Structure 1
């Protein structure tokens, strides 16, 4: 039986999260956590979104939007059919009440 992955601690919005991660992926995990923390802080600092859960959802939507844009730029036009042309809401919009 293989050994479990070591735990690595990441901080997001001042809260520490222990994450099980293979050693060869720890650097990327730290970069991803730092990026997420930065995005969540930007959203929180606008003062328009309140609550960690809502901030996390908005950050996830913004990051997914960035990923889809990067995908569209790197994939030929005819292969893009699996994603909608434009998201229903623009980036940074307030979530529904």
Structure 2
């Protein structure tokens, strides 16, 4: 596969990615050119020119800091505010952990953050399920009361 074909395929892959997923680009390894591979890539290039292209999402590199370590993140522009909000929450939690256990490594702090977030999400889901079950019970009880009231009248 030639470099031009690799770039074309890489561009096509970028165009088909979901806009809400952070995008990073990795180089496409060079492969031996076979007639079938050449035909497939040229057919993909031709079919791509016939269909209208969706606008590429605006991606921005954002440097985030969690517990004193900076990480580069590629984020859709429209999700940057939500990312910064999440970073603030996670950073505060990580700094609290670091303050309580200064000997923990950055990796351990991040693992504990992930476990804590999972626990909160799972508890929220259970709470929603419990609330839904109670709503169903309340509705069934109300229907029974209404039915009993109609039978008396």
Which one has a bigger Cα radius of gyration?
A: 2
* 34-43 or 70-79, which deviates more: 70-79
Equivalent position to 2:110, from 14, 31, 56:
56
Shift of 1:13: 1.0
Q: Give the conservation status (yes or no) of the 8 Å contact 1:49–1:55.
A: no
CA distance in 1, matches of 2:110, 2:85: 17
C-alpha root-mean-square deviation of aligned residues, in Å? 2.3
Higher relative contact order (CA 8 A, sep 6+): 1
Q: How does 1:1-97 map to 2 (within 5 A)?
A: 2=56, 5-47=59-101, 50-76=104-130
- Residue correspondences, number: 79
Task: Structure 1: state its 5+ residue gaps.
Answer: 80-97
TM-score, normalised relative to structure 2: 0.46
Higher helix share: 2
CA distance in 2, matches of 1:66, 1:49: 25
Shift of 1:2: 2.7
Poorly superposed stretches of 4+, deviation over 2 Å: 1-4, 75-79
TM-score, normalised relative to structure 1: 0.69
The C-alpha deviation readout for 1:53-82, integer Å capped at 9, x for no partner, is 111111110111011111111125899xxx
What secondary structure sits across from 1:21 in the alignment? strand
Task: Structure 2: state its 5+ residue gaps.
Answer: 1-54, 134-153
